[in-house]
Structure 1
Amino acid sequence: MTPTPMFPLEVAMLPGEQLPLRIFEPRYSAMISDCLAGDREFGVVLIAAGREVGGGDMRSDVGAMARIVEHTSQGGGRYRLRCELGDRFRVTQWLDDAPYPRAEVRAWPDEPGTPVTGSDIADVEDAVLSVFSLVASARDEELPSREELLGSAEPGQQAGERLYALAARIPIGQADRYAVLAAPSASARLSVLQEAVETLRAMVEFQLSE
């Protein structure tokens, strides 16, 4: 199995998201140079503890593949990148960090589970809009349209993919984002997102009550 270059971040990235990056640390400059000479892909995982710069971090074992779609070399090993997040994976083994973080990974598509219907997703969207409405009302602002806030399902998009896209638009914490990413099935992802939205609503109601 060919090792996969890995980029640990302090953010849990979700499939379908855009990822802008500014590269300057030597080990990641070497990684990006190798990626650009190859398939332009690397894995992204959440740092469970520690920091991005300098190493010594603890890394999560579920992530998503990033593909470089735009890049600018700024000289001296510095790059500006725009990446798109794609398929989810599990890390099966972390390898030595020399010359940069690497791991053996296995693709992890959604597992079978209880079907998630359009009605299920609409219910979550309604709950999210209700929270946004609370905030807009408190600020005496007009709420943007449903599509502007939450986007809309793309043709052929699976329920699990739509839930990723929805989660990316909601101001939830990194632990909740990672729970969405690591949910084994679309139905499990739905449950995680429902709980995250309930937590968000409780936080908003508490803050508005003060």
Structure 2
Amino acid sequence: MTDLPMFPLGSVLFPFMPIQLRVFEERYLVMLARVLQAEPAEFGVVLIERGQEVGGGEHRFRYGTVARITQVGADENVVALIAQGDRRIEVVEWLAEDPHPLARVREVADLEWDDSLLPLREEAEKTVRRALARASEFVDQQWAADVELSHDPVAAIWQLAAIAPVGPLDQVALLQASTAEALLTAVIDLTVSALATLGDEWQ
């Protein structure tokens, strides 16, 4: 276990996925100043269960992802950064804020890939890409249906989980998957369910 600076957000960060942030709250500017003194420069991201990103007092989910900073820029009192999702974590205990959120965390085991899962992976990818294309007819989507995935199989299935057009609560459930098979199965099931709410008959 280790103590890690934390950044609760209104969105879920997955392993192998990028995140862009504009930081302006004093407590998080302090956090970044401290984080950037270390190598690698990283902090934890968890989804806010209730409350707001700004001002504190929010309730947070237990599972999250370590964000590793890859790029930083500043403009007046705002710091813009790009980070990459790394390993998964579980919050064991929230510590006293100093002045930013701080938690004692433990790492969640990495997923292991087996080539026997290739048919399930292909089904999941087909389902997600079809869902993205269909959902784009109703709402703007962050990810295009033809977005490219990593050649690394574990990275690719996390990317599928991240781009699937499901809500943040479903994303938290995906983030907790204990095996690659469980993740792919959940991606398929949750994507089909989400698409059904758009009136798709899924034939």
- TM-score of Structure 1 vs Structure 2, range by shorter chain: 0.7 to 0.9
Equivalent runs, 1:53-202 vs 2, <5 Å: 53-76=54-77, 78-110=78-110, 117-132=117-132, 134=134, 149-154=146-151, 156-158=152-154, 161-202=155-196
| Larger Rg over CA atoms | 1
Q: Is the 8 A contact 1:14 1:181 kept in 2?
A: yes
Paired residue type of 1:45: V
Counterparts of 1:132 and 1:88 in 2: how far apart (Å)? 25
Q: Is the 8 A contact 1:125 1:150 kept in 2?
A: no
Q: Is the 8 A contact 1:115 1:187 kept in 2?
A: no
Alpha-carbon shift at residue 205 of structure 1 (Å): 2.3
Counterpart in 2 of 1:14?
A: 14
Cα RMSD of the aligned pairs, angstroms, is 2.6
Provide closer, same or farther for how the CA distance between residues 25 and 35 of structure 1 changes in structure 2, counting only shifts above 3 A: same
In structure 1, the gaps of 5 or more residues are 140-146
Provide closer, same or farther for how the CA distance between residues 96 and 205 of structure 1 changes in structure 2, counting only shifts above 3 A: same
What is the SS of the residue equivalent to 1:99? Answer: coil
Alpha-carbon shift at residue 118 of structure 1 (Å): 0.9
Identity over aligned residues, as a percent? 31
Larger proportion of helix = 1
Cα deviation digits, residues 41-70 of structure 1 (max 9, x gap): 100001111111111111111111111111
Q: Is the 8 A contact 1:62 1:89 kept in 2?
A: yes
TM-score, length-normalised on structure 2? 0.85
In structure 2, the gaps of 5 or more residues are 139-143
Counterparts of 1:68 and 1:95 in 2: how far apart (Å)? 23
Which stretches of structure 1, 4 residues or longer, exceed 4 Å deviation after superposition? 111-116, 132-136
Q: Is the 8 A contact 2:117 2:181 kept in 1?
A: no
Task: Note if 1:50 corresponds to 2:51.
Answer: yes
Counterparts of 1:135 and 1:63 in 2: how far apart (Å)? 26
Q: Is the 8 A contact 2:64 2:175 kept in 1?
A: yes
TM-score, length-normalised on structure 1? 0.82
